[in-house]
Amino acid sequence: MSASRLYLDHNATAPLLPEARAAMIEAMALEGNPSSVHAEGRAARALVFRARETVASLAGVPASQVTFTSGATEAANHVLTPDFRMGRAPVQVSRLLVSAVEHPAVLAGGRFATDQIRVLGVDASGRLDLEALEQALSDHDHSSGQVMLALQHANNETGVIQPVREAAELVRSHRGLMVVDAVQAPGRLPISLSELGADFLILSAHKMGGPKGAGALVSAGETLMPAPLVKGGGQEKGHRCGTENLAAIAGFGAAAVSAAASLDRMPAVAALRDRMERAMREAAPDIMVHGGGAERLANTSFFSLPGLKAETAQIALDMEGVAVSAGSACSSGKIGESHVLAAMGADAALGAIRVSLSSMQTEEEIDAFLDIFRRINGRRMERQAAQAAA
């Protein structure tokens, strides 16, 4: 990112951390395959193990419960499957429940058939309707197989934090499985698989300052596991085969260490975000901050300006040197209506701008953004006044 530009899109991807870059360069100097038994192979395998330990520590589990993948989307497709194994015994899951505001990778349902997926509503803040969840769990026919709930820890667009623990208690009372998409949580929220009550967590390296193309599926144990998505030579204990991406895994591990250290900075980030929103409301009293009344990630603000489409505002900000998202940046650069806004009952056609801060954002950078925001909003208000006078 150029020094003349301002990057406020950390929920889409966090810039690669210097320590992650250094770990990747060190890994690329290793010659061995982690599956080889000679000294070079053992050195590569040791690097994978160290990274696995740091990622596991982030989620509060032993290293043996981390399976590396090519990213969160692969991890979601791995775990969202009707086919599980409890040791050698098959376990069938016949129903997948998802909230209406999940990331598209989860909403797609992985390896479940369309008629096996049930989408649950959310309230106006975007939080899962727990009564709808309880009804769906009660409706499930256990004779056909188990039920699974996939729920994000925090929404990637609004930053709204979901009632994961409460949902997990309901799922467990109905003998179901719980998958938590924790992609947006590292460095922003404490993560503990056991405290959340989940069976599986999904993580992504590039959301926490690691490289793109690395992720992990974290399991509550080693006995109950999904059928492999990628089969082959037996790497990752056979759960995810293929030679490990050594450099990406090393960068992931380094980023996990940094993410754990970032939690202490979140109160300051929240104060910075709140100051920014107060200033935006002063400049634009009609601004709508989606999910603003709910508990949110400290770094996230998702807002709409009446009369100004989100893609128009995004382009205007980009031309002024500010990088933000118009919703989620997960559709090959396409800008479409936000399914999150639609689920919340908001104006999906108008869209919304997401500003997502880093743990190291400065007051001066927020002031620079606010100056540009006021200029863009001023032009919006001038257009509205001209239209009213016409």
Residues assigned a catalytic role: 330
Q: CB of 236 within 8 A of CB of 74? A: no
Cα–Cα dist 140/118, whole Å: 11
Phi, psi (rounded to 5 degrees) for 201: -120, 145
Q: What angle do CA 81, 85, 91 make, to 5 degrees?
A: 70
Q: What is the dihedral of CA 343, 266, 272, 253, to 10 degrees?
A: -80
CA-to-CA distance for 235 and 256, rounded, in angstroms?
22
- Label residues 256-291 b or e (16+ Cβ within 10 Å = b): bbbbbebbebbeebbebbeebbebbeebbeebbbbb
Angstrom distance (rounded) from CA 288 to CA 283: 12
Which residue carries 């997401």 as its tokens?
354
| Residues 6 or more apart whose Cβ sits within 8 Å of residue 240 | 67, 68, 69, 74, 78, 217, 228, 229, 230
CA pair distance 27, 50, nearest whole angstrom: 12
- Which residues, in sequence order, are bridge partners of residue 251? none
* Amino acid identity, position 291: G
Please, which residues have CB within 8 angstroms of residue 285's CB and are 6 or more apart in sequence? Answer: none
Q: Are strands 83-86 and 288-289 parallel, antiparallel or unpaired?
A: unpaired
Q: Do residues 327 and 338 make contact, with C-beta atoms less than 8 angstroms apart?
A: yes
DSSP class of 98? E
Tokens 């989100």 found at = 310
Q: Angle at the Cα of 86 (from 69 to 105), degrees rounded to 5?
A: 35
The answer to whether 45 and 34 are in contact (CB under 8 A) is yes
C-alpha span between 240 and 234 (Å, rounded):
7
